[in-house]
Amino acid sequence: MAITHCICSSVSFAELKKTADAEGITDWEKLREVRPFGLSCKLCIPYVKQMLIDGRTVFTQSIIE
């Protein structure tokens, strides 16, 4: 199963990337100020951090250690 969203905030990583690219945001905390995510269980935060590094918006395996 692909991991593509912050489920708690109902926002996809693709939407977050679009916002980050449009606003020139490279920091996940700044991105969260513009488009809220990661405010509940926080499991999506490592994925958004990785997205900001390499642009991936779909993850096929866990990156949580």
Residues engaged in binding ligand FES (CB under 6 A): 6-9, 37-44
Give whichever of 39 and 63 is closer to ligand FES, judged by the CB atom: 39
- In the complex with ligand FES, which residue's Cβ is closer, 39 or 64? 39
For residues 6 and 51, which CB has a smaller minimum distance to ligand FES in the complex? Answer: 6
3-state secondary structure the chain: CCECEECCCCEEHHHHHHHHHHHCCCCHHHHHHHCCCCCCCCCCHHHHHHHHHHCCCCECCCCCC
**Shortest spacing between CB 15 and ligand FES, in angstroms:** 13
